[in-house]
């Protein structure tokens, strides 16, 4: 295993996916340069960036493919996500449709990408929500299916200090809150699909580093050799779930300790 | 989910179109016909089409020479009304495209016998001498066509005058400053430009009005109303001094004096060199539009751009939203794009184009390209160049499925494989795709990949020489970095390597070389030299051939990709397996593409302002595009799945047996359509179709009865009216229409009878006992009693409820069986042949292949069929019958029980009826099966009859197999070596170098001097003839002076 040589950086190929203008490029820019720029350079096909991330026992060097979000570039995406060990699927919390697109990406990744790929679902533009910790449930929230596993609920809430799934009825304060996707809804989906889940803001930098740190921690470095995707879809599903639990358990504290960038 | 429908309607360009493309002349197809107006603005047809019948094109051998120039070139002269085009024999020395509306005078020259020569005088007085070297009658015919074409250009000639001031070269030449004071002039221009910019920048209309002034007069203050880019206001990229702008401008001025300018520009060898050292910033925009031919579009459609903007003002679409998002990310480092002025221009051009071509709309990367263009061009110029780029130079690059991009990436990979096999092998071994780096190169014409000043020099070459330049440069980049590339082990290294190479492209390629001249060579110059020298084997033909070879593969991949995505995105797949969903998708897709589904509505039937106005493409609740089918398409779709929704005629004659399929048309099908249209949209999505099929295909007896009932219960009140009962019976009869025998007819008659009997008993008037269990026999009696009075009542009242309907159905064994098995089984998911559609339909090439394509057309097949039918009937062996819908379903292998159930009913038929039935029913195995099962009760088919039938059938089978074998022999053809693509590979390998490298390295001036004389012109006799011609007088009597000449005297 690579743990014996902590100095040597482990390379991780990471791909960013998501609808156009959800802020993929901004997230990467924030992560790589600690910068937020309203006018990011254009993404044609995909932009390529690298950034190192220091964990307790190893250095992870992210090679980040920031893909173009426009629908017509979709058919080019496989070129970038093949052999990727991690994926960040971004949606915009102020646009309900972007979560639908994100779900489609997750589905595609789970079927077409590496079997061991670690997927993080990230709701960006948290700064636009009036109260980033409250959960206003938007109207079309029908996806909260009853079969959502409830046994993990407690641990998940413990871990995620930011999000409190308050079971309050929908709050209609649309005047200052642009949020359309509730935390609970997205989180439930993430859990169901075995994804890491974050809400972040590229503008303020909130939670951005944490995304990458958690990914770095979650990647199973002992099985880093890419495997054919068709191989073990069923296994991976369950594996993903356990990973997710681990992450949720350890989340809040360790993320800060192993500061990134 | 929008589906890539257009891939199936792709066709290769015709020879005529290719010729027009080569000369950058607009083709008919590039301008929409009258049937499908683009947005609101109706583009003017090619000028010569105005109300007249199309003028003829013609090619002829000719020798060209121009006054003031020694070189004479033999080549091919093409009249492509309204353009006259020439290309020298070596296809590179001399080339021109002259719009006929720029020609003021054409004269036949009086010269030695046997030489047919024409003198063309352009509006600015340049004289071009053309010797037509073909036989005299041919030459005369050409002259006549030319005259007709010229005549048709009268109106266009008048437009020339107001158009010319929009061109910078006219302004440049009109200034009295001699070449000696070039610097002074440039400075003047700079001041001039800045002072004038505000006036000229936004309004092109103003330009055409002011054009009344004297064109050739001095370009004094206020006259510089030419179209210009942002660069004149915000500064051009690069250091003008380092780029030798002044010298270049001087050289171009000189070149224009002799070789014509803008619309009349002739490409002589110095052109190529001036091009490759980089165009001067001020002239760049104009030369771009001249070289690409977009200037002809701008000339012919002077109002289009303004109208597109004004008529679509304030409208928004998905494209405009996407454009808005990208505006700030388009060359943000260039000053103009940090200003509102620059962004507004960029926005207007992109938006105008998205309305001009709603199918394409807007594609990321276009923002970069247009931002680049606008530095050197006005909005209108950039708009038309964008049109030419998307339409001709980079076809399909920016379309919704980006098939052109994917295709050219594949072509590029294949060229790397061919030219740089080591790199290719290494990349395969480390599993890195070249496209990850090369895709943006192609998509943004390198503008996004390297410093602007160098990128624009590549754009210069692309617009002058075509898309092959992109490939040549790409190959050269890989080759130059070859050693380092062999060290690459992953995507990241590859990208970083390319990035650092492009970052240092302006540095010296040989920094340590003792010779300062060599040290002065930059990486970029080296790149050009490698690209144009070592990869000159990559020709237009290479690209065309490779595209042709790979297109089918790419198309299939795109279709499979969108299939996967569409299937994956279904929210509910019912009880279907993934495979079955795939089959449903294939049918769905092929129905949309089927010609029977009506005119190809998906190509271009837009109305302004909304790119989703196409009938079958809708935006769903989340604002995503979705492909849906209308009821006509649904009929085609259903005919592929439900056996009763198609008419299958089996024809047997002495030669073959074939099955012709037609789409059936019945109300029942429309009923299904509306029943499945869950959201009442008038169209069905794939999801609707899947759910609809899921219901009918998984239904058991009771469920089948229920959905069939609901289908006919229009108001959904749970009751059928009497009319609806009749309609339901009709639906049943429609399904049974081709079934053998009368049993089904009998069953339906009995059904109607029973339905009325039970219905009378249970109609809502007496709804008290409606749900009570009813004893069939008793009710029949009571029903019969009441029928007389109630059947006379109104026909639109609720009458028959589901329970009663169920009972009536179950009362009949045949109907029960039908609903229990046959109906469900009549929906069959059979794999279509659509897998790898494009590869299967790829036309074979080469001489024999072409011949085959000619012979094996659908029409010819039909003709052959008719012929065979004719012979067959002459021989008395022609027979046709309709394939029954259910006997297939009741094939023993599928539902073993059903056919045996028919026995009892069939025994009711008279022997004669049964015999007749068998006559008609010779084909399906199901029938023979039935016949054996029914012999015990009927026994009417005599053994003799049977044997003869069997005989006939056997013979038919043999014959049809022979025909089939013959057909296969014809269809199958081996791979001939002669067909292999890429023969052209070695052809040009030994072309003498013209010293491009030296040219690039040298100072511009030295460069020209050194290469002044070694052009591949004609020598000796022909040259002398040409020289004589220059001095020759027009022929007195046969003077072909145009009546139009004076009208356009400028």
CA distance B629 to B566: 15
Task: Judge: A43–B439 Cβ closer than 8 Å, yes or no.
Answer: no
Least CB–CB distance from A107: residue in B402, B406, B568: B568
Give the gap in angstroms from C-alpha B440 to the nearest C-alpha of chain A.
Answer: 6
Least CB–CB distance from A21: residue in B325, B435, B565: B325
Cβ contacts of A111 on chain B, cutoff 8 Å = 568
CA distance A215 to A119: 8
Cβ contacts of A102 on chain B, cutoff 8 Å = none
Task: Judge: B623–A97 Cβ closer than 8 Å, yes or no.
Answer: yes
- Identify the three-state secondary structure at position B705: helix
| pLDDT exceeds cutoff 80 at A96 | yes
Which phi and psi angles does B272 have, rounded to 5°?
-60, -40
Least CB–CB distance from B364: residue in A13, A63, A68: A68
Task: Judge: B400–A68 Cβ closer than 8 Å, yes or no.
Answer: no
Give the gap in angstroms from C-alpha A70 to the nearest C-alpha of chain B.
Answer: 7
- Please state, as a whole number, how many other Cβ atoms lie within 10 Å of the Cβ of residue B780: 17
CA distance B434 to B314: 42
Give the pLDDT means over successive 10-residue stretches in chain B (1050 positions). 73 84 73 38 42 73 88 92 92 91 90 82 92 90 92 89 92 68 43 41 37 36 74 91 90 93 93 92 95 94 93 90 89 92 96 92 94 96 96 92 93 96 95 93 93 95 95 97 94 91 93 90 94 93 93 89 86 88 89 68 35 42 63 88 85 75 86 87 87 90 90 84 87 87 86 82 52 42 43 63 88 89 88 72 62 67 77 74 64 41 42 47 40 39 50 60 56 44 39 41 44 48 69 55 41
Query: Is A54 at the interface with chain B, CB within 8 A?
Result: no
Nearest CA in chain A to B327: A39
Task: Judge: B491–A68 Cβ closer than 8 Å, yes or no.
Answer: no
Give the gap in angstroms from C-alpha B492 to the nearest C-alpha of chain A.
Answer: 7
Do residues B414 and B985 touch, judged by C-beta distance below 8 A?
no
Cβ contacts of B370 on chain A, cutoff 8 Å = none
Task: Judge: A44–B443 Cβ closer than 8 Å, yes or no.
Answer: yes
Best of A15, A72, A229 to substitute, by most chain B Cβ atoms within 10 angstroms, is: A72
- Please state, as a whole number, how many other Cβ atoms lie within 10 Å of the Cβ of residue B249: 23
- Identify the three-state secondary structure at position A49: strand
Cβ contacts of A46 on chain B, cutoff 8 Å = 436
Nearest CA in chain A to B622: A97
Least CB–CB distance from B622: residue in A43, A100, A108: A100
Give the gap in angstroms from C-alpha B143 to the nearest C-alpha of chain A.
Answer: 50
Do residues B492 and A50 touch, judged by C-beta distance below 8 A?
yes
CA distance B932 to B947: 14
Query: What dotted CATH number matches A2-257?
Result: 3.40.50.300
Query: Is A73 at the interface with chain B, CB within 8 A?
Result: yes
Better-predicted residue by pLDDT, B782 or A129: A129
CA distance B755 to B1018: 95
Best of B1, B319, B323, B332 to substitute, by most chain A Cβ atoms within 10 angstroms, is: B332
Do residues A111 and A229 touch, judged by C-beta distance below 8 A?
yes
Please state the length of chain B.
1050
Residue written as token pair 């959201």: B679
Instruction: Outline where DSSP puts E strands in B612-731.
Output: 617-619, 625-627, 646-652, 657-663, 719-720
Task: Judge: B444–A44 Cβ closer than 8 Å, yes or no.
Answer: yes
Nearest CA in chain A to B367: A42
- Identify the three-state secondary structure at position A89: strand
Query: Is A13 at the interface with chain B, CB within 8 A?
Result: yes
Least CB–CB distance from A79: residue in B326, B399, B435: B435
Tell me which DSSP letter residue B14 carries.
P
pTM over 0.90: no
Tell me which DSSP letter residue B679 carries.
T
Task: Judge: B490–A63 Cβ closer than 8 Å, yes or no.
Answer: yes
Best of B493, B495, B555, B567 to substitute, by most chain A Cβ atoms within 10 angstroms, is: B495
CA distance A48 to A33: 13
Query: Is A62 at the interface with chain B, CB within 8 A?
Result: no
Q: Helix B245-259 and helix B182-202: axis angle, to 10°? A: 80
Query: Is A52 at the interface with chain B, CB within 8 A?
Result: no
Query: Is A233 at the interface with chain B, CB within 8 A?
Result: no
**Number of helices (H), then strands (E), in chain A:** 7, 6
Nearest CA in chain B to A77: B436
Structure-block tokens of residue B887 = 């006997």
Task: Judge: B624–A75 Cβ closer than 8 Å, yes or no.
Answer: no
Give the gap in angstroms from C-alpha B330 to the nearest C-alpha of chain A.
Answer: 6
Task: Judge: A104–B565 Cβ closer than 8 Å, yes or no.
Answer: yes
Nearest CA in chain A to B432: A79
Task: Judge: A39–B433 Cβ closer than 8 Å, yes or no.
Answer: no
Task: Judge: A71–B400 Cβ closer than 8 Å, yes or no.
Answer: yes
Exposed, middle or buried: residue A116 (CB in 10 Å: 0-12, 13-18, 19+)?
A: buried
Task: Judge: A44–B440 Cβ closer than 8 Å, yes or no.
Answer: yes
Cβ contacts of A189 on chain B, cutoff 8 Å = none
Which phi and psi angles does B420 have, rounded to 5°?
-130, 65
Least CB–CB distance from A108: residue in B405, B491, B568: B568
CA distance B613 to B619: 9
Nearest CA in chain B to A110: B568
Query: Is A71 at the interface with chain B, CB within 8 A?
Result: yes
Cβ contacts of B439 on chain A, cutoff 8 Å = 44-45, 76, 79
Q: What is the pLDDT of residue B656?
A: 73
Give the gap in angstroms from C-alpha A250 to the nearest C-alpha of chain B.
Answer: 31
Question: Measured at the alpha carbon of residue B427, what is the angle toward residues B426 and B428, in degrees to the nearest 5?
Answer: 90
Q: What is the pLDDT of residue B397?
A: 94
Cβ contacts of B565 on chain A, cutoff 8 Å = 74, 104, 108
- Cite the DSSP H helix spans in B7-55: 15-22
Question: Between the CA of residue A20 and those of A95, B322, B355, B710, what are the distances in Å?
Answer: 11, 8, 21, 43
CA A112 to chain CA centroid, Å, is 18
Do residues B887 and B924 touch, judged by C-beta distance below 8 A?
yes
- B855-864 long-range contacts, Cβ below 8 Å, gap at least 24? B855/B970, B856/B970, B856/B971
Residue written as token pair 């496989």: A78
| pLDDT exceeds cutoff 70 at A188 | yes
Q: Which of A175-184, A196-205, B853-862 is least confident?
A: B853-862
Question: Between the CA of residue B898 and those of A261, B649, B822, B885, B1043, what are the distances in Å?
Answer: 73, 24, 8, 14, 86
Cβ contacts of B440 on chain A, cutoff 8 Å = 44-45
Query: Is A142 at the interface with chain B, CB within 8 A?
Result: no
How do beta strands A196-199 and A9-18 pair?
Answer: unpaired
Domains, chain B, with CATH or none: 41-161+1019-1031 (2.30.29.30), 167-243+278-394 (1.10.8.270)
Q: What is the pLDDT of residue B655?
A: 72
- Identify the three-state secondary structure at position B776: helix
CA distance B342 to B337: 5
- Please state, as a whole number, how many other Cβ atoms lie within 10 Å of the Cβ of residue B118: 21
Residue written as token pair 């659908």: B858
Better-predicted residue by pLDDT, A45 or A202: A202
How do beta strands A9-18 and A86-92 pair?
Answer: parallel
Best of B350, B403, B439, B627 to substitute, by most chain A Cβ atoms within 10 angstroms, is: B439
CA distance B543 to B75: 24
Chain B residues near any Cβ of chain A (below 8 Å): 322, 325-326, 328-330, 332, 363-365, 367-368, 399-402, 405-406, 431, 433, 435-436, 439-440, 443-444, 448, 490-492, 495-496, 558, 561-562, 564-565, 568-569, 622-625
Nearest CA in chain A to B446: A44
Question: Measured at the alpha carbon of residue B576, what is the angle toward residues B572 and B577, in degrees to the nearest 5?
Answer: 110
Do residues B244 and B453 touch, judged by C-beta distance below 8 A?
no
Query: Where are chain A's structural domains?
Result: 2-257
CA distance B372 to B444: 9
């Amino acid at each position: 295993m690579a743990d014996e040589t902590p100095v040597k950086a482990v390379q991780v190929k990471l791909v960013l996916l998501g609808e156009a203008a959800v802020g993929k490029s901004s997230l990467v820019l924030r992560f790589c340069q600690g910068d937020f720029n309203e006018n990011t350079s254009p993404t044609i096909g995909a932009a390529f960036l690298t950034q190192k991330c220091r964990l307790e026992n190893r250095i992870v060097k992210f090679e980040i493919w920031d893909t173009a979000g426009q629908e017509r570039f979709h058919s080019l995406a496989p070129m970038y996500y093949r052999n990727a060990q991690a994926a960040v699927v971004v949606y915009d919390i102020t646009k309900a449709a972007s979560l639908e697109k994100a779900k489609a990406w997750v589905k595609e990744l789970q079927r077409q990408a590496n079997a061991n790929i670690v997927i993080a679902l990230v709701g960006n533009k948290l700064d636009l929500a009036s109260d980033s910790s409250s959960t206003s449930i938007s109207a079309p929230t029908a996806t909260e299916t009853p079969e959502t596993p409830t046994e993990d609920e407690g641990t998940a809430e413990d871990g995620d200090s930011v999000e409190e799934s308050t079971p309050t009825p929908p709050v209609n304060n649309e005047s200052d809150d642009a949020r359309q996707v509730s935390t609970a809804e997205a989180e439930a989906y993430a859990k169901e699909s075995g994804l890491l889940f974050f809400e972040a803001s590229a503008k303020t930098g909130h939670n951005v580093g944490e995304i990458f740190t958690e990914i770095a921690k979650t990647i199973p470095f002992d099985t880093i050799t890419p495997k054919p995707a068709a191989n073990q879809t069923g296994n991976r599903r369950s594996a993903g779930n356990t990973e997710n639990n681990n992450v949720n358990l350890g989340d809040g504290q360790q993320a800060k300790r192993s500061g990134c960038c | 989910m929008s589906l890539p429908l257009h891939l199936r309607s792709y066709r290769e360009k015709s020879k005529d179109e290719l010729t027009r493309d080569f000369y950058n002349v607009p083709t008919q197809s590039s301008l929409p016909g009258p049937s499908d107006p683009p947005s609101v603005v109706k583009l003017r047809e090619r000028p010569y089409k105005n109300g007249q019948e199309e003028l003829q094109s013609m090619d002829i051998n000719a020798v060209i020479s121009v006054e003031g120039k020694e070189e004479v070139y033999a080549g091919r002269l093409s009249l492509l009304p309204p353009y006259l085009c020439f290309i020298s024999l070596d296809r590179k020395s001399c080339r021109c495209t002259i719009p006929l509306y720029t020609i003021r005078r054409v004269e036949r020259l009086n010269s030695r016998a046997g030489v047919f020569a024409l003198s063309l005088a352009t509006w600015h007085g340049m004289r071009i001498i053309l010797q037509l070297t073909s036989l005299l009658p041919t030459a005369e015919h050409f002259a006549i066509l030319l005259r007709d074409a010229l005549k048709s250009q009268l109106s266009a000639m008048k437009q020339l005058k107001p158009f010319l001031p929009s061109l910078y070269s006219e302004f440049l030449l009109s200034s009295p400053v001699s070449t000696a004071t070039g610097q002074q002039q440039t400075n003047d221009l700079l001041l001039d430009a800045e002072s004038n910019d505000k006036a000229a920048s936004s309004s092109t209309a103003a330009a055409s009005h002011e054009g009344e002034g004297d064109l050739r007069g001095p370009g004094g203050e206020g006259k510089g109303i030419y179209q210009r880019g942002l660069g004149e206001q915000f500064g051009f990229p690069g250091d003008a001094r380092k780029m030798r702008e002044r010298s270049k401008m001087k050289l171009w001025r000189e070149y224009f004096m002799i070789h014509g300018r803008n619309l009349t520009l002739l490409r002589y060898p110095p052109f190529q060199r001036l091009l490759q050292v980089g165009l001067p910033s001020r002239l760049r925009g104009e030369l771009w539009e001249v070289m690409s031919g977009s200037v002809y579009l701008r000339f012919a459609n002077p109002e289009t751009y303004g109208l597109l903007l004004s008529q679509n003002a304030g409208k928004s679409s998905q494209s405009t939203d996407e454009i808005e998002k990208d505006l700030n990310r388009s060359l943000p480092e260039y000053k103009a794009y940090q200003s509102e002025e620059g962004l507004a221009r960029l926005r207007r051009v992109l938006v105008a184009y998205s309305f001009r071509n709603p199918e394409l709309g807007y594609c990321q990367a276009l923002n970069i390209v247009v931002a680049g263009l606008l530095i050197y061009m006005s909005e209108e110029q950039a708009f038309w160049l964008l049109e030419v780029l998307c339409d001709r130079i980079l076809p399909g690059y920016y379309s919704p499925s980006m098939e052109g991009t994917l295709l050219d990436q594949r072509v590029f990979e294949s060229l790397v494989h061919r030219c740089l096999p080591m790199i290719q092998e290494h990349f395969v071994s480390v599993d890195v795709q070249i496209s990850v780096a090369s895709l943006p190169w192609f998509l943004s014409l390198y503008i996004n990949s390297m410093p602007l000043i160098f990128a624009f020099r590549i754009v210069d070459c692309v617009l002058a020489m075509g898309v092959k330049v992109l490939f040549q440069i790409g190959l050269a980049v890989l080759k130059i970095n070859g050693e380092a590339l062999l060290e690459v082990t992953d995507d990241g290294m590859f990208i970083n390597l390319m990035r650092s190479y492009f970052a240092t492209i302006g540095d010296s390629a040989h920094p340590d070389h003792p010779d300062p001249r060599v040290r002065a060579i930059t990486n970029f110059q080296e790149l050009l030299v490698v690209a144009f020298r070592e990869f000159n084997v990559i020709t237009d033909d290479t690209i065309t051939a490779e595209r042709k070879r790979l297109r089918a593969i790419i198309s299939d991949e795109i279709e499979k990709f969108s299939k996967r995505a569409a299937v994956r995105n279904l929210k509910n797949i019912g009880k279907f397996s993934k495979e079955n969903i795939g089959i449903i998708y294939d049918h769905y897709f092929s129905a949309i593409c089927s010609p029977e589904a009506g005119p190809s509505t998906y190509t271009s039937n837009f109305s302004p302002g909304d790119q989703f106005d196409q009938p079958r493409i809708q935006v769903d609740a989340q604002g995503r595009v979705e492909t849906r089918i209308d009821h006509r398409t649904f009929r085609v779709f259903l005919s592929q799945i439900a056996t009763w929704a198609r008419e299958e005629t089996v024809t047997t004659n002495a030669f073959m047996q074939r099955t012709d399929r037609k789409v059936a048309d019945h109300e029942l099908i429309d009923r299904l359509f509306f029943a499945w249209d869950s959201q009442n949209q008038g169209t069905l999505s794939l999801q609707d179709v899947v759910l609809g099929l899921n219901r009918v295909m998984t239904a058991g007896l009771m469920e089948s009865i229920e959905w069939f009932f609901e289908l006919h219960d229009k108001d959904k009140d749970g009751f059928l009216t009497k009319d609806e009962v009749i309609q339901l019976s009709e639906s049943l009869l429609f399904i049974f229409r081709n079934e053998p025998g009368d049993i089904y007819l009998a069953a339906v008659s009995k059904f109607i009878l029973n339905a009325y009997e039970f219905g009378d008993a249970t109609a809502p008037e007496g709804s008290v006992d409606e749900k009570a269990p009813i004893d069939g026999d008793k009710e029949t009696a009571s029903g019969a009693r009441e029928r007389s009075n109630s059947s006379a009542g109104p026909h639109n009242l609720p009458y028959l409820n589901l329970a009663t309907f169920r009972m009536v159905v179950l009362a009949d064994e045949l109907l029960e069986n039908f609903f229990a098995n046959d109906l469900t089984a009549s929906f069959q998911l059979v794999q279509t042949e659509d897998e790898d559609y494009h590869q299967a339909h790829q036309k074979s090439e080469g001489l024999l292949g072409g011949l085959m394509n000619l012979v094996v057309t659908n029409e010819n097949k039909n003709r052959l069929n008719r012929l065979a039918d004719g012979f067959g009937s002459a021989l008395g062996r022609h027979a046709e019958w309709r394939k029954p819908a259910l006997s297939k379903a009741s094939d023993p292998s599928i539902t073993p029980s059903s056919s045996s159930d028919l026995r009892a009913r069939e025994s009711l038929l008279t022997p004669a009826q049964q015999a007749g039935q068998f006559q008609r029913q010779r084909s399906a195995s199901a029938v023979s099966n039935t016949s054996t099962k029914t012999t015990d009760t009927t026994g009417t088919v005599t053994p003799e009859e049977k044997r003869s039938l069997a005989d006939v059938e056997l013979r038919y089978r043999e014959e049809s197999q022979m025909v089939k074998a013959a057909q296969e022999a014809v269809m199958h053809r081996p791979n001939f070596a002669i067909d292999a693509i890429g023969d052209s590979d070695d052809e040009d390998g030994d072309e003498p170098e013209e010293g491009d490298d030296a040219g690039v390295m040298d100072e511009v001036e030295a460069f020209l001097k050194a290469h002044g004389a070694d052009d591949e012109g004609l020598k000796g006799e022909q040259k002398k003839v040409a020289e004589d011609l220059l001095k020759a007088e027009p022929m007195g009597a046969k003077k072909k002076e145009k009546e139009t000449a004076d009208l356009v005297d400028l």
